[in-house]
Amino acid sequence: MITIATWNINGVKARIETALEWLKQDTPDIVCLQEIKSVDEAFPREPFEALGYNVVTHGQKGFNGVAILSRFPLEDATPRLPGDDGDEQARFIEAVISVDGGSLRVVSLYLPNGNPLGTEKFPYKLGWMNRLEAFAADRLGLEEPLVLAGDYNVIPEPRDAKNPQDWVNDALFQPESRGAFRALQSLGYMDALRACNDAAGVYSFWDYQAGAWQKNNGIRIDHLMLSPQAADRLTACEVVSRVRAWDKPSDHVPVVASFDFQPLPN
DNA sequence: ATGACAAGACTTTCTTGA
């Protein structure tokens, strides 16, 4: 069994103690991190390595930035979503893990927020989603297990928000954003959480402001999208909401999927 | 009511985020 998590930690330096505590408690095998807010040279690799993780990062100064932690060796770590060589924002890294029967590909992605509407930020989001769809379509040709894990900044459906009406003028809930997310599903990628849990009220983000956590005023925007070969091995998926109540929390919590894969002995 | 929090940076005020 292999567990793969996605978690927007909102700053790796500010969150290091919280992150290490969760890793010690739940011992995920692979963790896709977003919003590390650190350049690669300043990423605190050592405390993660001390817990047995290999670390690959693609960071930038001040904001954005993604990383993958893995108990198994990470091969061919490749930053940047193809399709726009002029895009300097650090939002994507792919790596490969050897498992029984071949390669398991894992992507940590931080999809653009897109707010406010009416600025260049929203078309940047939609363009990034088009590039992600093209990447996902291309990868289908490999016929390999692939997990596209990350902060998608998309509320897929009304049941994914406590108060959907609050989001109708927000980039996260625009028809174009939701349609681009559905395009991944139309290609054949499966939303891991929805494969396991059909209930409303499952959230991965609660704003720091206005007592959103205390009111359970949340949204589900952190997703693991699975290629058919990954979906075939899915055994469970859940949101780790208890982390949101800890001291110094991120505004996001981890989402963890379990798979019937065996890592290869190294 | 674009308020409220939080993190990071050429910081004591700004940008960015959702």
Q: Are A151 and A252 in contact (CB under 8 A)?
A: yes
Q: Which residues touch strand B (CB under 7 A)?
A: A 8, 10-15, 35, 37-38, 61-64, 112-113, 115-116, 121, 151, 153, 169, 172, 205, 207-211, 219, 221, 248, 251
Q: Which nucleotide is nearest to A207 (CA to C1')?
A: B18
Q: Which nucleotide is nearest to A167 (CA to C1')?
A: B18
The distance (Å) linking the CA of A166 with the C1' of B1 is: 14
Is A115 known to sit in a ligand binding site? no
Those residues whose C-beta lies under 8 Å from the C-beta of residue A83, and which sit 6 or more positions away, are A130, A131, A134, A135
Give the helix ranges, DSSP H, for A119-197.
121-140, 175-187, 192-196
The distance (Å) linking the CA of A188 with the C1' of B9 is: 42
Q: What is the pLDDT of residue A8?
A: 98
Per domain, the residue ranges of chain A are 2-259
Is A133 known to sit in a ligand binding site? no
Q: Are A257 and A236 in contact (CB under 8 A)?
A: yes
Q: pLDDT (tens digit, 0 to 9) for every residue of chain A, 266 residues total?
A: 999 999 999 999 999 999 999 999 999 999 999 999 999 999 999 999 999 999 999 999 999 999 999 999 999 999 999 999 999 999 999 999 999 889 999 999 999 999 999 999 999 999 999 999 999 999 999 999 999 999 999 999 999 999 999 999 999 999 999 999 999 999 999 999 999 999 999 999 999 999 999 999 999 999 999 999 999 999 999 999 999 999 999 999 999 999 999 888 76
Task: List the one residue out of A59, A44, A104, A123 whose CA is nearest residue A264.
Answer: A104
- Specify the pTM: 0.97
- Say how far apart CA A227 and CA A257 lie, in whole Å: 13
Tokens of A214: 């205390």
Query: Would you name the residues of A annotated as active-site residues?
Result: 110, 151, 252
Those residues whose C-beta lies under 8 Å from the C-beta of residue A109, and which sit 6 or more positions away, are A32, A34, A66, A81, A91, A92, A132, A148, A149, A150, A151, A152
Q: Are A161 and A154 in contact (CB under 8 A)?
A: no
In chain A, what is the straight-line distance between the N-terminal and C-terminal CA atoms, in Å?
A: 16
Q: What is the pLDDT of residue A108?
A: 98
Q: What is the pLDDT of residue A266?
A: 62
Length of chain A: 266
Residue type, A48: F
Phi, psi of A45 (to 5 degrees): -65, -40
Q: What is the pLDDT of residue A193?
A: 98
- Say how far apart CA A133 and CA A241 lie, in whole Å: 29
- Say how far apart CA A220 and CA A208 lie, in whole Å: 15
Is A223 known to sit in a ligand binding site? no
- Say how far apart CA A67 and CA A34 lie, in whole Å: 7
Give the helix ranges, DSSP H, for chain A.
16-26, 45-50, 121-140, 175-187, 192-196, 228-231
- Say how far apart CA A149 and CA A72 lie, in whole Å: 17
Q: What is the pLDDT of residue A19?
A: 98
Place of tokens 């707010």: A115
Does domain A2-259 match CATH 3.60.10.10? yes
